[in-house]
Amino acid sequence: MIEKLINFLKIQYYRTFKKKLFYVNKYVEQIPDNMRPGLLYVEGSGNEHWFASLLCPCGCGEEININLDENESPCWKLSEGKFTEISPSVCKNTGCKSHFFLRKGEVKWCGTN
């Protein structure tokens, strides 16, 4: 119960006081060791994208890895364009337990799972 309250308060803090991050796709051959906030690093070759990674938008600093390979499960879909869109939602089961969508580059929080 306390953990859910802490997560809720953390999300509210970032939504209210932190500058909004707009995520953009950055296409790379390999995910870098030093990632920057606001970038979704998309790994692949040509038009094939296998994997994406970003820093958690809550500010905890944890890396979130997203599978884009349709032959593996679970799998997310990435929009092609400058601003990032991912579906379905991204939900961390550990740590800060952030749960969010990325729509037109903007974080849309789902709550505190």
Residue 51 backbone dihedrals phi, psi, to 5 degrees: -155, 150
CA 24, 40, 110 angle in degrees (round to 5)? 90
How large is the average pLDDT for residues 37-55? 89
Sign of CA dihedral 103, 107, 108, 113: positive
Terminus-to-terminus CA distance in the chain, angstroms? Answer: 11
Q: What is the pLDDT of residue 113?
A: 41
Higher pLDDT: 110 or 65? It is 65
In whole angstroms, what is the distance from residue 98 CA to residue 36 CA? 18
Contact 99, 86 (CB under 8 A): no
Residue matched to tokens 């950055």: 26
Q: Is the pLDDT of residue 53 over 80?
A: yes
What is the pTM (predicted TM-score) of this model?
A: 0.77
* Amino acid in position 15: R
* Amino acid in position 98: S
